[in-house]
Amino acid sequence: MNADNEREMITLTLESGETECEVLAVFDVGEKQYISLLPANETDVIIFKCFEEEAGFAELENIDDDEEYTAAAEAFNKLIN
């Protein structure tokens, strides 16, 4: 939520179409930044690597490495607990 207690939403463009997602957290693990998202009408959180571009837009990238994903998921779980 932002300072006004409003949920921060972003639109993901996937192969299957566009999906609205709530931004749950942006967090660091080591020197890398990650973002956790909750797609509308879903219960499963998704986590991406997050890079900020010069124009202020975020670029998201899938996490292909199992160890990296585990580290990111564990860090997210610590944030929410």
CA distance to 20, 31, 33, 41, 43, per residue, from 12 (Å)? 6, 24, 18, 14, 16
> Do the domain assignments include residue 50?
yes
Do residues 39 and 24 touch, judged by C-beta distance below 8 A? no
Q: Collapsing DSSP states into helix, strand and coil, what is residue 23? A: strand
Is 57 a residue whose pLDDT tops 90? no
Give residue 1's pLDDT.
46
Classify residue 1: in a domain, yes or no: no
Note the pLDDT tens digit of each residue in 11-25. Answer: 988 888 899 999 999
**How many structural domains are present in the chain?**
1
DSSP letter assigned to residue 7: P
Nearest Cα to 46, choosing from 1, 81, 3, 10?
A: 10
The answer as to whether 4 is a domain residue is: no
Mean per-residue pLDDT, 45-56: 86
Which domain, by its residues, includes 22?
Answer: 9-80
pLDDT in tens, 62-81: 999 999 999 999 999 999 98
Given a cut of 90, is residue 58 above it in pLDDT?
no
- 65 located within any domain: yes
